[in-house]
Structure formats: structure tokens, C-alpha cells
């Protein structure tokens, strides 16, 4: 059984100085997107923090989210955070396998019933009784429902768990669904992104550990600290957008000058995520800095939102064809009704009656 | 429906519906006008119809007659609003990006600062015209529900577009959705309201000119 | 090798501007003014601001280097420099791999992280006494 004592105790045991701890808390504040002045408050809270049990279930996914997390470029920070939790089940990261692995999951679920944090990545196939993805002979749906029962809260990691993601994209052959469609009676945090920014995953975990409660969420269940603003709100190319200076191709003069990528399909204006400030690869940069527009990966249905390269202003369906068909139909109606009018007129003429405006179709 | 799905709908199906209604309605109206069974004219005319017809189209559009102060206001504000509207519609880079996607070709945009001025002038002119319509006893008497409705339907896309560009009001996703919805409402209303004048006005002017230019009886 | 080892080539750092840096400098000036008047220190988290590599370099150039430069070794190195404007400090924390984990501008007499901590002093005293007793 893992020990669940306070963090401060374990840190002093490891010989970590108070100054190091303060530095760690400063990094945490930055990670959690809190004002830098909150570091002392974090230090105070963390000193008391208990070590919760975490069960991580992976469903219909590509393991990209786990890859992202383990590639997060702050190993000391992450190892400290992992020090703070007790990861009792993660079938990619854990050493145990087979029956031993399933047993550790069952044990954790029993021992920490009502208290453990359930992390989920991947969407859940629901069609044909969920047979499209199974672990140890049990469907994902079954595993999720069982594990959700005793969870204090569920964290849906990645766009698949949060919004359905790629598996749910049209035509959704497996009937994939996000966690929030299947579990209604537990608090759910959606950490969307394909994959989510690693430090956002750890930042949300850190928040839960530090303050013992879920962070403030937006209407789609995403933590506001990271998803409160759009890529566009915080994009360093924004001044060019405001001036109407747009790159027209990926290698024209505008592109070389770092102009706005709106016309090349950037979905930054409608995408809520922290890429523009938190950045990727240990702060090296984010896609727009590399010259490519945002794909909108942290928003629902982004796979079905039209081409990644059509501007947001452009229609997502064929308007020309519809307009053509409508013009033909309009013309046909006009010709037909005019012919009817003429016929009416002729017959009236023959009977020497007068045609009035009222008689003409309108 | 989440905000993204709603936006997708207005960018897709919604826009298709609105375009279909607008194009169908307007083709029908124009063609039906053209095909109205007019009697064949058997008499020989002294003047021609085409020259005067086209001349009147030009004159009524671009030559200002002598006007009273009140008339001048209506004409100047009216022209400002019409030109401003078309400049923002046709020369804002985002609109060109949209038209390029539909038409397959585009043209150079005006700088945002120019569009800005046009948009503000247009909004101001429209508000002034509305106030004038309400304050002026004659205009007020002549105005009905439809006049106010069409004003609103024209005003909303301008206002929402302006807000979208300046980040005023709701988040971009919602604002873009509202902007597109307002455009779709306008498109749908065109064939059924006075807004149809955007095309019929020219044929009407041609008829006026042609009628005057034709010297002689019709038989 | 870490990501920080990959050189970023910055072009036209001095004559190119999109306006983000001048806004930031104005904010620093306001905070410094307030600190001088009221003694209220302040911090700006640079990671929370939109900045390209180029602008980051511009900020470095604009703030320059002053009289103090300190290094810290606490779960990875930290760099603390006073900029050429006294009272305006640039504090960069790295982890052991050399990645930046926090990047701050501090307006203060001396950044808090530089001062010795009571708990550490206590533990240090115990170690010292043990060494004497030996
Ligand atoms: S590149 Fe994208 S996110 Fe950045 S300003 Fe342009 S549209 Fe907005
Ligand atoms: S820039 Fe956009 S597409 Fe790219 S990772 Fe961030 S949210 Fe996803």
C-alpha cells in the first residue's frame, strides 16, 4: 500500500530545501497560469497536501496524450508532481501487466472508493454493445462505468475523451462518445487538445492536488485558467490581423514577414487553448510560430469542421452548386407561371374580358 | 448543440438554405417581370428605347438633382450608406476570402483602416436615416413595418461584423455565428421585401427612361 | 542536448515591432513607479504573455543588464539579474534539464528567492552545530 502522508514531510525527508520548494511553487504558479504572487499561497497549501490515488484508463485512443505527458519537458517538476500522486493504474506506464495489473486497479478502486481521481484518455465506443474496444475481455464502456462509480472526479484527458475526437469524426463507425455523454453524476474536467499541452495536464492535476478542488471550468468543462482565452486573443501575430495584413500562401512575402495566417485557414479565433502563451516543447514555440495556422484541436468536432486550410469566413459546404440549382428552379418557376398567365390572358381575350393585375401570378 | 456545431451549421447548411431562398426568389422575380406578357408593339417609334433607358439608369444613380436641404440629407446619407455598405461588403479581406472560396477568384482588399472608416460612416448614416425617418412627419407617415424591418435586417450584419472585427461583445465563435446568421436572415428576406430593389431598381430605371425616350404611340 | 541548445536565429531584433514590447515596458514603468511610491513589489509572469522569439530578444535588449547577476542551484539552476533599471529584476528558473520552468520580471529591492529562508537557516544551524561537535 502506498503512503499518503503530506508532501512537505516527504520533501524534507528527501533533503529538498525550502528555497527549492519555493522555486517549485513559483514554477507551479506559472504552470497553473496563476498570478506569480500566489506562490506563497501554493506553498502553504502544498505543505498540507495529501497524496491522492489516481487511476488512468486508456480507451479508443492513439496514446498521443500519454506521449505528450511523458514528453513534458520539465522532468523535475513532473517527477515532483508524480511524487505527489500515487498512479495506481496506467496500462502503458505501469510495470505490472495481465492479472496483476487488473488487480492493482481493482484494489485501488476498493481501497480509495469515493476518493480516487479517474483519468481517462480516448473515446468510448458504444455501438454494438461497445465491442470495438476491450481490455482484458471487458468493454471500455463497462470499465468506465465501473471505475466512475467510486471516483471523486473524472479528468478527460485529450479531445477524444473530452469531445469524442478522431474516433467520433464522421461517419463515427464505432459509435464513439466522450466521457461526458456517458457519465452524468460525477464532476468532469475536460482537458482537450490533440494532444493537450503536457503542462496543462500536469497543471490541472497540480491544481487539484494543491487546492483539493476542481479549477473553475468553462461551459464545455475546460479549466478556464488554460482555456479561458482563444489562441487568437493571445497570438503574437494579432497586430497583423488587426491591420489586415495576411499571408496568402505559406511562402509569400507576407508569410516571411510573419503576417497573420487567417486566410490560410487559421482556426485560432475560435479555438480556446493555452498554446500561444504556455507553448510546446518546453516553451520552444507553438504551431503559429512555426508558420502554420491553428487547427482548432481543442474544440469539439474539429475533424469535421471543414478543411484545415479554408479560412474561417469561408462556407463549409458547396454554395455555388446550390445557387446554380436555385437559379434554375427560380427560372423554371418564372417561365411556367408566365406561360400560365399568358394562357389566362388569351382565354380572357377570347371572351372579351379584361385582365387585371390581380389575375397575374405574383 | 455546442457553439462549434452551431457555427458549423451556419457556415454550412444555414448558408446553403439562405442562398437557395435568395437566388431562387430573385431569379423568379426578375424573370417573371421580364416575361410579363406585354403586348407586341406594332407601331414604329421616332425615338429609341435603349439609349434613354440606359441614360436614366446612369442619371438616377449618379447625377444629383437640385434638392431642398431635407432632400439633400436623404440623398447624401442614402448614398453614403449604400456605398459604404458595398465597400465593406466587397473590399474587406475576410469577405474577399469568403467570396474567393465561393466564386473561385478574388481581388485585392482595401486596408483595414479604410474599411473601418467606411463601416463607421455607413453605421452612422443608417442611424441618421432611421432617426430622420421617424422624426420627419411625411416620411414617418409613409413608413410601415416593413421599412423598419428591412432597416434592421441591413443594420445587423454591419453592426455584428464591426463588433467581430473589433472583438467587442461575445467571444469570436459566438460573434461570428451571430454575424453569419444576420447575413443569412438578410439573404432570406431579400426576395420577399423591398430589399429586392437591389436588382429591380435598375430595370425600373431603365423602363422609366425607355418610356420617356420612346416618342410616339404604341399600338 | 536540450531544446534550449538549439539556436534561434533572430532577425531584425532592433527595428521590427508589432507593439507587444512597448506595452510591456510601459507596464513595467508603471509598476516601478508604484513600487517607489508605496513599496509594493510586483511580478510579471513572462510565460503568460504572447511573445515571439524575436520579441523576447527585444525585451532582453530593452531591459539590458545592470549591476547584479546571481545564480542559484535549487532543483536546477536559476538566473537572477538586475536589469539596467534598478529595482527591475529578471528571474529565470530552469529545471535540471535546462528547460525554463518560470520566467519572471520582478519589481523589488531584491527577489524573494534570493533571501535565506528561516527553515533552511534552522536546518543549516543544526548542521553547523553538529560539525562543531565533531
Ligand atoms: S495567426 Fe491565427 S490566431 Fe494569430 S492573429 Fe492570425 S488568425 Fe489570429
Ligand atoms: S495551435 Fe491550435 S491546433 Fe495547434 S495545438 Fe494549439 S489549439 Fe491545437
Cα–Cα distance measured from residue C113 to residue C71, given in angstroms and rounded to the nearest whole number? 11
Task: Give the model confidence (pLDDT) of B62-116 as tens digits.
Answer: 666 666 666 778 888 888 889 999 999 999 999 999 999 888 899 999 998 899 9
| Measured distance CA(C107)–CA(A198) in Å, rounded | 30
Q: Decide the pairing of beta strands C88-94 and C77-82.
A: antiparallel
Taking the C-alpha atoms of residue A285 and residue A291, their distance in angstroms, rounded to an integer, is 11
Per-residue pLDDT, A294: 96
Mean pLDDT of A13-20: 79
Give CA separation, C32 vs C38, C48, C108, in Å: 10, 20, 8
**Ligand 1 neighbour A194 (Cβ under 6 A):** no
Other beta carbons less than 10 A from residue B73's beta carbon = 15
For residue A18, give every residue at least 6 positions away whose Cβ sits within 8 Å of its Cβ, in sequence order, or none: C117, C118, C119, C120
Cβ-count burial A30-66 (b if 16+ within 10 Å, e if not): bbbbbebebbeebbebbeebebbbbbbbbbbbbebbb
Q: pLDDT tens, C23-61?
A: 899 999 999 999 999 999 999 999 888 777 788 888 999
Give the confidence band of C96 by pLDDT, cuts at 50, 70, 90: confident
Q: Given a cut of 70, is residue A132 above it in pLDDT?
A: yes
Label residue C13 by pLDDT band (50, 70, 90).
very low
* B212 vs B19: CA distance, rounded Å: 37
Identify the CA nearest to B195 among candidates B159, B163, B148: B148
A174 vs B205, more confident: A174
Task: For chain B, list residues with pLDDT below 70.
Answer: 37-50, 59-70, 202-204, 206-219
Lowest mean pLDDT among A79-88, A174-183, A244-253, A318-327: A79-88
* Highest mean pLDDT: which range of A94-103, A227-236, B128-137, C79-88: C79-88
Confirm whether the ipTM is greater than 0.90: no
pLDDT greater than 90 at residue A159? yes
- Give residue B155's pLDDT: 95
Q: Which residues of B165-178 are buried (b: 16+ CB within 10 A; e: fewer)?
A: bebeeebbbebbbb
Chain-centre distance for alpha carbon A268: 14
Provide the 3-class DSSP secondary structure of residue A265. coil
Report the pLDDT value the prediction gives residue B211, as an integer from 0 to 100. 65
Q: Kindly determine whether residue B111 and residue A322, on different chains, have CB atoms separated by under 8 Å.
A: no
Interface of B with A in 24-63 (CB under 8 A): 24-32, 35-37
d(CA A124, CA C113): 47
What confidence tens digit (pLDDT) does each residue in A216-246 have? 999 999 999 899 999 999 898 998 998 889 9
pLDDT on residue A1: 34
Q: Which three three-digit cell numbers place residue A156?
A: 478527460
CA angle (B109, B85, B93) in 5-degree steps: 20
Q: What is the pLDDT of residues A277-336, one digit of tens each?
A: 888 876 778 999 999 999 999 999 999 888 899 999 989 888 888 888 888 988 888 888
> Quick one: B194 exposed, middle or buried, by C-beta within 10 A (0-12, 13-18, 19+)?
middle
The reply to whether residue A313 touches residue B98, judged by beta carbons under 8 angstroms, is yes
User: What was the pLDDT predicted at A90?
Assistant: 73
Ligand 1 centroid, distance to C19 Cα (angstroms)? 16
CB atoms within 10 A of CB A185: 6
> pTM for this structure?
0.80
| Cα of B49 vs its chain's centroid, Å | 27
Which whole-number Å values give the CA distances from C71 to A23, C74, C93, C114, C132, in the listed order?
Answer: 13, 10, 10, 9, 29
Q: Which of A315, A318, A323 lies at the smallest CB-CB distance from B11? A: A315
Q: Which three cell numbers stand for residue B218?
A: 404604341
Higher pLDDT, A113 or A51: A113
If pLDDT is split at 50, 70 and 90, which confidence band does C3 have?
Answer: low
3 state DSSP class of A279: coil
- Ligand 1 centroid to Cα of residue A236, in Å, is 8
Mean pLDDT over A119-136 rounds to 91
Q: Please report the pLDDT score of residue B135 as a whole number.
A: 85
| Alpha carbon of A65 to ligand 2 centroid (Å) | 14
Degrees to nearest 5, angle at CA A112 with A107 and A118: 90
Contacts of A among chains (3+ CB pairs under 8 A): B, C
Domains of chain C: 13-133 (3.30.1370.140)
Q: Is the CB of A266 under 6 A from ligand 1?
A: yes
What's the rounded Cα separation, in Å, for the pair A1 and A3?
7
Q: Is pLDDT of A73 > 80?
A: no
CA distance A352 to A340: 18
Burial class for A304, CB neighbours closer than 10 Å (0-12, 13-18, 19+): middle
What cell numbers appear for A158 in the block? 485529450
> What domains are there in chain A, each with its CATH number?
7-226 (3.40.50.700), 238-304 (4.10.480.10), 320-359 (no CATH)
pLDDT at A15: 73
Amino acid at each position: 500500500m502506498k503512503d499518503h502522508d503530506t508532501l512537505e514531510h516527504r520533501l524534507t525527508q528527501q533533503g529538498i530545501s525550502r528555497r527549492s520548494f519555493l522555486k517549485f511553487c513559483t514554477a507551479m504558479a506559472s504552470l497553473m497560469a496563476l498570478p506569480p504572487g500566489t506562490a506563497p499561497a501554493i506553498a502553504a497549501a502544498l505543505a498540507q497536501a495529501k497524496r491522492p490515488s489516481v487511476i488512468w484508463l486508456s480507451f479508443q485512443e492513439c496514446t498521443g496524450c500519454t506521449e505528450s505527458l511523458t514528453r513534458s519537458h520539465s522532468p523535475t517538476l513532473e517527477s515532483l508532481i508524480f511524487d505527489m500522486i500515487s498512479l495506481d493504474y496506467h496500462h502503458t506506464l505501469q510495470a505490472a501487466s495481465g492479472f496483476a495489473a487488473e488487480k492493482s486497479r481493482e484494489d485501488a478502486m476498493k481501497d480509495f472508493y469515493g476518493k480516487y481521481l479517474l483519468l481517462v484518455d480516448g473515446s468510448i465506443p458504444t455501438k454494438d454493445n461497445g465491442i470495438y474496444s476491450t481490455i482484458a475481455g471487458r468493454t471500455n464502456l463497462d470499465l468506465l462505468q465501473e471505475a466512475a462509480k467510486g471516483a471523486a472526479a473524472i479528468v478527460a484527458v485529450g479531445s477524444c475523451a473530452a469531445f469524442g475526437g478522431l474516433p467520433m469524426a464522421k461517419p463515427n463507425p464505432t459509435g464513439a462518445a466522450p466521457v461526458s455523454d456517458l457519465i452524468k453524476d460525477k464532476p468532469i474536467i475536460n482537458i482537450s487538445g490533440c494532444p493537450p499541452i503536457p503542462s496543462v495536464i500536469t497543471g490541472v492535476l497540480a491544481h487539484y492536488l494543491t487546492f483539493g478542488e476542481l479549477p473553475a471550468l468553462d461551459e464545455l468543462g475546460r479549466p478556464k485558467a488554460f482555456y479561458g482565452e482563444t489562441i487568437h486573443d493571445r497570438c503574437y501575430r494579432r497586430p497583423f490581423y488587426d491591420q489586415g495584413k495576411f499571408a496568402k500562401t505559406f511562402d509569400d512575402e507576407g508569410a516571411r514577414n510573419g503576417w497573420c495566417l487567417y486566410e490560410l485557414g487559421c482556426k485560432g479565433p475560435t479555438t480556446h487553448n493555452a498554446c500561444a502563451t504556455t507553448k510546446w516543447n518546453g516553451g520552444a514555440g507553438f504551431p503559429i510560430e512555426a508558420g502554420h495556422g491553428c487547427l482548432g484541436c481543442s474544440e469539439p468536432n474539429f475533424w469535421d469542421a471543414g478543411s484545415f486550410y479554408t479560412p474561417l469566413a469561408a462556407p463549409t459546404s458547396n454554395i455555388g452548386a446550390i445557387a446554380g440549382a436555385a437559379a434554375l428552379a427560380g427560372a423554371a418557376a418564372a417561365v411556367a407561371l408566365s406561360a400560365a398567365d399568358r394562357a389566362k390572358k388569351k382565354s380572357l381575350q377570347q371572351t372579351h374580358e379584361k385582365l387585371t393585375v390581380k389575375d397575374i401570378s405574383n | 448543440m455546442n457553439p462549434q456545431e452551431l457555427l458549423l451549421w451556419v457556415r454550412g447548411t444555414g448558408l446553403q438554405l439562405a442562398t437557395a431562398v435568395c437566388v431562387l426568389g430573385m431569379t423568379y422575380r426578375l424573370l417573371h417581370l421580364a416575361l410579363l406578357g406585354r403586348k407586341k408593339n406594332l407601331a414604329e417609334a421616332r425615338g429609341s428605347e435603349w439609349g434613354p433607358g440606359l441614360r436614366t439608369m446612369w442619371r438616377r444613380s449618379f447625377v444629383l438633382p437640385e434638392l431642398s436641404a431635407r432632400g439633400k440629407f436623404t440623398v447624401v446619407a442614402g448614398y453614403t450608406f449604400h456605398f459604404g455598405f458595398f465597400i465593406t461588403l466587397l473590399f474587406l479581406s475576410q469577405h474577399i476570402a469568403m467570396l474567393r472560396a465561393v466564386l473561385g477568384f478574388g481581388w485585392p482588399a482595401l486596408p483595414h483602416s479604410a474599411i473601418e472608416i467606411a463601416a463607421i460612416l455607413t453605421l452612422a448614416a443608417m442611424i441618421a436615416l432611421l432617426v430622420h425617418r421617424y422624426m420627419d412627419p411625411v416620411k414617418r407617415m409613409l413608413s410601415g413595418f416593413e421599412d423598419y424591418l428591412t432597416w434592421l435586417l441591413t443594420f445587423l450584419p454591419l453592426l455584428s461584423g464591426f463588433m467581430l472585427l473589433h472583438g467587442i461583445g461575445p467571444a469570436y465563435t459566438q460573434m461570428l455565428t451571430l454575424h453569419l446568421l444576420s447575413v443569412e436572415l438578410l439573404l432570406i428576406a431579400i426576395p420577399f421585401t423591398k430589399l429586392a430593389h437591389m436588382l429591380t431598381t435598375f430595370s425600373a430605371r431603365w423602363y422609366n427612361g425607355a418610356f420617356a425616350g420612346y416618342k410616339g404611340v404604341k399600338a | 542536448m536540450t531544446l534550449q541548445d538549439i539556436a534561434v536565429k533572430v532577425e531584425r531584433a532592433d527595428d521590427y515591432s508589432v507593439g507587444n514590447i512597448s506595452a510591456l515596458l510601459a507596464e513595467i514603468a508603471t509598476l516601478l513607479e508604484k513600487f517607489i511610491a508605496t513599496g509594493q513589489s510586483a511580478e510579471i509572469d513572462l510565460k503568460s504573455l504572447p511573445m515571439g522569439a524575436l520579441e523576447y530578444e527585444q525585451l532582453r535588449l530593452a531591459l539590458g543588464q545592470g549591476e547584479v547577476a546571481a545564480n542559484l542551484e535549487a532543483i536546477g539552476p536559476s538566473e537572477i539579474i538586475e536589469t539596467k533599471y534598478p529595482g527591475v529584476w529578471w528571474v529565470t528558473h530552469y529545471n535540471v534539464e535546462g528547460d525554463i520552468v518560470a520566467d519572471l520580471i520582478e519589481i523589488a529591492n531584491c527577489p524573494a528567492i534570493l533571501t535565506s529562508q528561516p527553515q533552511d537557516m534552522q536546518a543549516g544551524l543544526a548542521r553547523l552545530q553538529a560539525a562543531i561537535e565533531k
